[in-house]
Structure 1
Amino acid sequence: MPHPEIVRGVSGGGPSVLISGARAPVALHLARLFDGAGWRVVLADTPAKPLSAASRACAAYFRLPPPRFEPARYGDAVEALVVRENVSLVVPTCEEVFYLAHMWRERQPAALLFAPDIDLLQRVHDKYAFIELCRSLGLAVPHTRLLRGKDDVLSVRAEAADLVFKPVWSRFASRVLVHPSRAELDGLSPSPQAPWVAQQFLPGEELSVYAVAREGRLAVFSLYRSIYRAGKGAGICFQPLEDERARAFVERFVAGTGWTGQISFDLMRMADGAVLPLECNPRATSGLHFFRNPKGFVAAATGDTGFVERDVARPQTVRLAMWIYGLPAALRAGGVGRFRRDLNAADELLDWPGDAAPKRAQWLALGEIATLALRHGISLQRASTRDIEWDGPDQSSI
């Protein structure tokens, strides 16, 4: 059963939406958008003090068991929560989407899960299966090979200098090897349960996409690039972009898969303007922050209108993350002046009229993650997702 409710807010009395992954800034942003569109917003996650729980958009926050380690108890808690809070729509934001989709298949709760079925989710999360799916839809893709054992690694050793190696199940560019050395290759031990891919290295500009689709029709589209990252992975300062070929790729993909829900992509724009896919994240990402019109966004996402354009043109950032990750990177690269200019040019994405508490609450949320990182001897980034990671049906990373 669920842990006790820990926050009760002031959100309105319209239809109830449950937003999971409350630790994430995108969950906070979705809560604000749904609240502004007249929905009653219920939030849920594992941490005791997630960022979003402090928001005035939050009518209620519930603490859940960790889905990666206690999936049955997690399912029980979510099912009870949907009934008790009269939830009609569940919107996942992070990798808990896989656990929820699996639960929806087995238990079929009354609420609508805003995500595809578990088979399609797993297929796009798998870095090899995703590329093969794109190929089957007639989309251009980088040459990608599946590595399921040492012999597969040996078969690509001669061309390793032109390849990128990464686990099929991974996130935040964790463990990615670009132009690996012989010693790094020798250290790879892929298996059928934990395979890797060897992908053609693409010299170009990396682009990111956040999108929402309904039954294969694109409803929300946001293209952007990360100016600063937390290590090699998640962006912490990003600016909006335009590219018709990127939008055409997404339109063709969601149409070919009949996609419903949120979906995000990492793409590469080549020198000739061609756009090729790298990987897919079937969840919310930072491109969401370029939408601040609640009624327009929610109407498009939930099916009342056709398509909504983003309404934010300035770069977006979390300043605390910039000081933690961006400044050290700038110091190493000798780019402190550029760091200062970029920081000043970007809006703080946590700011929202009449809702200042989450900006203060980020310190408590960071402290909780830091404590977890110290306890388990892992990075802050890994600690932030440890309990919701999905590494395939057999969860081989546990």
Structure 2
Amino acid sequence: MGTSERKHVLITFGRSFLTLELARLMSAAGHRVTIVDSIPIGITRFSHATSAFHRVPAPKFEPRAYCHALAKIVADEKVDMVIPIHEETDILSMMVDIFPPECELFLSDFDTENRLHNKFEFQELLTARRIQTMKYAEVRGPQDVAALDFDAPFALKECYSRGSQTVHKVSPGDSLDWLEFDPLNPWLAQEWVSGKQYCTYSVVHNGRIHAHATYPVDYAIGGSSCLNFRSVQHDGIYAWIEDFVREMNFTGQVGFDFIEHPERGLYCIECNPRATSGIMMFAPEDRVDRAFFGENDEVITPDATVDKMIGLGMLIYGWRKDSRGDRSIRQFLHDFRGARDVVGAPGDNRPALMLPLAYLGIMRSCIKYRVGLAEGFMHDHEWDGLRISE
């Protein structure tokens, strides 16, 4: 297939490093990039890759106003494609009809997005397709707690939650009196399996993978939200994803978390039907923009030698025991020196210079919403199951 003509893309969640990297990749390929966010100091706003920035309502708290604001920008500025980054993907998928028909929203229909996002529904989907799963159960109330029959430690997490939020490790017999129950956001109990963990990122059109990256979980906040990114090849994981997205006829960005047990094999822990940190592993010469427009025949993958990190995140979290795992402080320092920070880029240093100011803005959100730094970063873009129609 040929290369794309110049397009106008709108990318959401301008505070995100993922948005910054995607904006740079799109701009380097000759496309015009507009950024939106609900806060005024998202770092992507200051990138040379950004042609325009718009402040919009917070999608979590004003979902209708958020979607209408984006639709107006799309119509007024003749945007060709909207690429959502975080959980505003689910919200936009409920209101695709308000957007001009000539603009593509790079996502799947709401039912698909929701089934992949909801951690229990995703496991049910795997079971229905006879895909190997870890033991799991939905917990909606005290009666479900009493019915749990795990004979080994298990994870307990909300069905609508994300990597930076708490995953509780529970042993059989532990008291769960502390659990609070939300009818819109129940809990998932999931067998705790040990093994090598991997994360993925794929750009998919109509069930076909156009770009893909797999990276091991090395340094991660609480062991789950990755801070560094090394490209690895895992044929089993790629084949798993290839089959799954084809059966779902999925369109959009998607990431999967896997764990590989040495005897029992490969398990998919959960799915993130949106952008993941894997986008930061691609370089301008990879021309990953073609994947978004469905123009490439060969699957685009990152260079095998790529080694990147979120530098500030590594400084704040990476050295901690729960983030570095079995690695020593000396190993952390070695790996920190050897990786390239995703924020800085030749010829585009303003985002790095503005990073302290941007984090002050995030701290303001933390105080406003009474949450920690990792949660405050994304709190107003989370979606926990509330339908707009409700």
Considering the TM-score relative to the shorter chain, is it more than 0.5? yes
Residue equivalent to 2:365: 372
Number of residue pairs aligned between Structure 1 and Structure 2: 382
User: How many angstroms does 1:182 deviate by?
Assistant: 4.7
Distance 1:104 1:175, change over 3 A: same
The unaligned stretches of length 5 or more in structure 1 are 1-12
Distance 1:313 1:272, change over 3 A: farther
Residue equivalent to 1:354: 347
Residue equivalent to 1:23: 15
User: How many angstroms does 1:106 deviate by?
Assistant: 5.4
Residue equivalent to 2:380: 387
Is the contact between residue 36 and residue 295 of structure 1 (CA under 8 Å) also seen in structure 2? no
Is the contact between residue 75 and residue 100 of structure 2 (CA under 8 Å) also seen in structure 1? no
Written as runs of structure 1 = structure 2, the 5 A alignment for 1:94-243 is: 94-105=86-97, 110-156=102-148, 159=150, 161-172=152-163, 174-180=165-171, 182=173, 184-243=175-234
The correspondence for 2:32, drawn from 28, 35, 40, is 40
SS class of match (1:123): helix
Q: Deviations over 1:79-125 (max 9, x none)?
A: 11001111010001111111111121455654100010111101100
Residue equivalent to 1:336: 329
SS class of match (1:210): strand
Is the contact between residue 344 and residue 352 of structure 2 (CA under 8 Å) also seen in structure 1? yes
Written as runs of structure 1 = structure 2, the 5 A alignment for 1:266-305 is: 266-272=257-263, 274-293=265-284, 296-305=287-296
In 2, Cα distance between the equivalents of 1:376 and 1:272? 44
Is the contact between residue 27 and residue 33 of structure 2 (CA under 8 Å) also seen in structure 1? yes
User: How many angstroms does 1:315 deviate by?
Assistant: 2.0
User: How many angstroms does 1:142 deviate by?
Assistant: 1.4
User: How many angstroms does 1:62 deviate by?
Assistant: 0.6
Higher relative contact order (CA 8 A, sep 6+): 2
Is the contact between residue 8 and residue 33 of structure 2 (CA under 8 Å) also seen in structure 1? yes
In 2, Cα distance between the equivalents of 1:234 and 1:143? 23
Is the contact between residue 227 and residue 237 of structure 1 (CA under 8 Å) also seen in structure 2? yes
Is the contact between residue 150 and residue 191 of structure 2 (CA under 8 Å) also seen in structure 1? no
User: How many angstroms does 1:343 deviate by?
Assistant: 0.2
In 1, Cα distance between the equivalents of 2:254 and 2:134? 20
User: How many angstroms does 1:162 deviate by?
Assistant: 2.8
Residue equivalent to 1:5: none
Letter in 2 for 1:174: Q
In 2, Cα distance between the equivalents of 1:137 and 1:296? 34
Could you tell me the TM-score, scaled by structure 1's length? 0.90
In 1, Cα distance between the equivalents of 2:285 and 2:85? 17
Identity, % of aligned positions:
30
Is the contact between residue 26 and residue 288 of structure 1 (CA under 8 Å) also seen in structure 2? yes
User: How many angstroms does 1:393 deviate by?
Assistant: 2.8
Letter in 2 for 1:195: P
In 1, Cα distance between the equivalents of 2:365 and 2:175? 29
SS class of match (2:165): coil
Letter in 1 for 2:71: E
Is the contact between residue 43 and residue 58 of structure 1 (CA under 8 Å) also seen in structure 2? yes
SS class of match (1:29): helix
The correspondence for 2:83, drawn from 69, 88, 91, is 91
Moved over 6 A (4+): 330-334
User: How many angstroms does 1:138 deviate by?
Assistant: 3.3
User: How many angstroms does 1:273 deviate by?
Assistant: 7.3
Is the contact between residue 290 and residue 313 of structure 1 (CA under 8 Å) also seen in structure 2? no
User: How many angstroms does 1:394 deviate by?
Assistant: 4.7
Is the contact between residue 262 and residue 282 of structure 1 (CA under 8 Å) also seen in structure 2? yes
SS class of match (1:159): coil
Residue equivalent to 1:248: 239
